[in-house]
Amino acid sequence: MIIGLGNPGTVYKNSRHNLGFKTVDLLCTQLGLHLSDQRFQTLSTSTNYHDKKIILACPQTLMNRSGIAVKYLVEYYRPEIRNVMVIHDDIDLDVGRIKIACGGGAGGHHGIESVTYHLRTNGFSRTKIGIGRPRYNEAIEGFVLNPFYDDQQTTIKEVLHLAAKAIESFVLYGVEAAMNTFNSLTTRSRR
């Protein structure tokens, strides 16, 4: 189960907080899928990928309530909890970096706090995509809801492709393999 976190609506479409949505959208494009199922306060779809059933989903509950939709999905599909991959932005990672993890704290990310609270566990897997820290003393709440700086746009496009490859590795080989392969990588423009 691949779940991208974000906020629905065009006003948030290109915000830093919507990297989870953007990654799921990219995966859908690559697989020729559309998020057409509107159950569970989520846009989702499912397919078979290399003989494995995968569900791709974007909760429509607003970021801070993401756990409500994730709980509905998990209760319906009943995946093993470590096979739930939640994709989200991470302010503690530089732009151009991703980090795969299983378990751990929320790091102040309200979407992850909501998922942990509603699932009653932090044992799900995560793909964290770096957004870096504000350059101009912007308040964090506004910073995450705004687009990336102009000079970061190319790097973000590249890192979304890196995240999509990490998700593929997760589906095919598991979270540990994805961690070992992708946690040391950065996008070309950061090398």
Q: Annotated catalytic sites, by residue?
A: 17
Cβ of 65: how many Cβ atoms within 10 Å? 17
Residue 77: exposure state from Cβ atoms within 10 A (0-12, 13-18, ≥19): middle
User: Regarding beta strands 85-90 and 98-102, do their DSSP bridges make them parallel or antiparallel, or are they unpaired?
Assistant: unpaired
SS3 124: coil
| Cβ proximity of 175 and 102 under 8 Å | yes
CA distances from 38 to 44, 61, 63, 115 (A): 7, 12, 17, 19
**118 contacts: CB under 8 Å, gap ≥ 6:** 67, 68, 70, 71
d(CA 147, CA 17): 9
d(CA 177, CA 180): 5
